[in-house]
Amino acid sequence: MEKYRGRFAPSPTGPLHFGSLVAAVGSYLEAKSRGGAWLLRMEDLDTPRAQPGAADAILRTLEACGMAWDGDIVYQSRRSVAYRAALAHLEAQGLVYACGCSRREIADSGLGPDGALIYPGTCRNGLAPGKQARAIRVCVDHERIDFEDLVQGNLNQDLAAEVGDFVLRRADGLYAYQLAVVVDDAEQKITDVVRGADLLDSTPRQIYLQRRLGLPAPRYLHLPAASNRADRRRAPRR
């Protein structure tokens, strides 16, 4: 039988808050109850948002809660070569293009299910005269992405209608979360992803990239958001 391999992947933008701790506990217990490995990945790819000392503080919190990880910690900030190779693979298929649009220029676009702007495809057929390349986007089509979440049930999304061509490399040169997480999950041979429901709408994008890169898709389990008595959500994350 396939050996279970789960992971917890926090972003070191501050201390491990309650919602992230819920995700950590959920992913840890799921892995250990199945006799599997629980890996740790530090998603410090967004260097402008990373706070000095936050990664170490997260590790100390996990240790204090008795959650020991298996193997070495993976740091996304050290993996740009792998992300560059994945982007080149998509480029060789003619699936990516340069985009010169600023956020202000697409501000009147519709909103997707996660509240992000739906990109209208402005630069898909080439940059307009006078525009310079900023981000790199991947082309999507009207293929409906269906997947079965182990808690949320059967879900689907039309990427073209609900998201649009999404960013793989940002205007500041940093690789986007959607690309990095797909590459890392495959390299770490992750079989099961347990994380917060706030990342549920990202899953179809990741499945789309897995298919285009020829990578296996793990099983997904998205935990409900934690909330306090005032019903203010403290969503678990990665």
Q: Which CATH code for domain 5-234?
A: 3.40.50.620
CA dist 217 and 208 (Å) reads 10
| Res 232: pLDDT | 57
User: pTM here?
Assistant: 0.91
Look up residue 238 and give its two tokens: 């990665």
> Percent of the chain, pLDDT > 90?
79
Q: What is the largest distance, in Å, between two alpha-carbon atoms of the chain? A: 58
Cβ 180 vs Cβ 191: under 8 Å: no
Find where tokens 């310079």 sit: 132
| Res 235: pLDDT | 47
CA dist 154 and 146 (Å) reads 7
Domain boundaries, the chain: 5-234
| Res 82: pLDDT | 98
Backbone angles phi, psi at 104, to 5 degrees: -65, -35
Residue 235: CB atoms within 10 Å: 20
**Among positive and negative, which fits the CA dihedral 2, 7, 85, 123?**
positive
In order along its 238 residues, the chain shows pLDDT tens digits of 579 999 999 999 999 989 899 999 999 999 999 999 999 999 999 999 999 999 999 999 999 999 999 999 999 999 999 999 999 999 999 999 999 998 888 776 666 776 678 888 899 999 988 888 999 999 998 889 999 999 999 999 999 999 999 999 999 999 999 999 999 999 999 999 999 999 999 999 999 999 999 999 999 999 998 776 665 555 455 6
CA dist 191 and 39 (Å) reads 11
pLDDT digits (tens, 9 = 90+) for 166-208: 999 999 999 999 999 999 999 999 999 999 999 999 999 999 9
| Res 92: pLDDT | 97
CA dist 145 and 202 (Å) reads 11
